[in-house]
Amino acid sequence: MAEMAKKYAFGIDLGGTTVKIGLFSGEGELVYSHEIPTRTENGGVKILPDIAEAVREDMEKYSIGKEQLAGIGLDVPGPVVKESVVIRCVNLGWGVFNAADELKKLTGIENIKAANDANAAALGEMWKGGGRGHDSIVMVTLGTGVGGGIIVDGKIVSGANGAAGEIGHMMVREDETDVCGCGKCGHLEQYASATGIARVGRKMLAASDQPSALRDIDHVSARNIFDAAKAGDALALDIVEEVCRVLGNALAAITTVTDPEVIVIGGGVSKAGPILIETTKKYYRKAAFHAAEDCEFALAELGNNAGMFGAVKMIL
The minimum distance between CB 51 and its own copies, in angstroms, equals 26
Q: Looking only at residues 77 through 136 of this chain, which bind its own copies when binding is defined by CB under 8 A?
A: 79, 87, 136
How far CA 17 is from CA of 38, 220, 246, in Å, comes to 5, 27, 32
CB atoms within 10 A of CB 63: 7
Is 290 a binder of its own copies (CB under 8 A)?
Answer: yes
Q: Which is nearer to its own copies, 175 or 218 (CB)?
A: 175
Q: Which is nearer to its own copies, 128 or 134 (CB)?
A: 134
Q: Looking only at residues 210 through 229 of this chain, which bind its own copies when binding is defined by CB under 8 A?
A: none
**Which one of the spans 196-204, 217-225, 272-280, 281-289 is the region binding its own copies (CB under 8 A)?**
281-289
Is 160 a binder of its own copies (CB under 8 A)?
Answer: yes
In this structure, are residues 261 and 152 in contact, taking their beta carbons and an 8 Å threshold? no
Distance, in Å, from the CA atom of 195 to the CA atom of 206, rounded to the nearest integer, reads 16
x/- site string to its own copies, residues 163 to 182, per CB under 8 A? xxxxx-xxx--x-------x
List, in order, residues 6 or more apart from 181 with CB less than 8 Å away.
Answer: 145, 189
**Which one of the spans 96-104, 120-128, 252-260, 268-276 is the region binding its own copies (CB under 8 A)?**
252-260
Q: Which is nearer to its own copies, 46 or 97 (CB)?
A: 97
x/- site string to its own copies, residues 16 to 35, per CB under 8 A? --------------------
Distance, in Å, from the CA atom of 54 to the CA atom of 70, rounded to the nearest integer, reads 17
Is 261 a binder of its own copies (CB under 8 A)?
Answer: yes
The residue from 54, 70, 157, 316 that contacts its own copies (CB under 8 A) is 157
Q: Which is nearer to its own copies, 190 or 255 (CB)?
A: 255
The residue from 54, 70, 213, 253 that contacts its own copies (CB under 8 A) is 253
**Which one of the spans 69-77, 95-103, 162-170, 213-221 is the region binding its own copies (CB under 8 A)?**
162-170
The minimum distance between CB 174 and its own copies, in angstroms, equals 7
> Shortest CA distance to 205 belongs to which of 187, 194, 227, 220?
220
Is 306 a binder of its own copies (CB under 8 A)?
Answer: no
In this structure, are residues 76 and 116 in contact, taking their beta carbons and an 8 Å threshold? yes
In this structure, are residues 117 and 86 in contact, taking their beta carbons and an 8 Å threshold? no
In this structure, are residues 133 and 90 in contact, taking their beta carbons and an 8 Å threshold? no
Is 241 a binder of its own copies (CB under 8 A)?
Answer: no
> Shortest CA distance to 226 belongs to which of 189, 278, 162?
278
List, in order, residues 6 or more apart from 40 with CB less than 8 Å away.
Answer: 16, 47, 91, 92, 93
Classify 316 as helix, strand or coil: coil
Q: Alpha helix (H) ranges present in 31-116? A: 41-44, 47-61, 99-107
Is 234 a binder of its own copies (CB under 8 A)?
Answer: no
Residue ranges in contact with its own copies by CB under 8 A: 79, 87, 136, 148, 150, 152-153, 155, 157-167, 169-171, 174, 182-184, 249-250, 252-261, 286-287, 289-292, 295
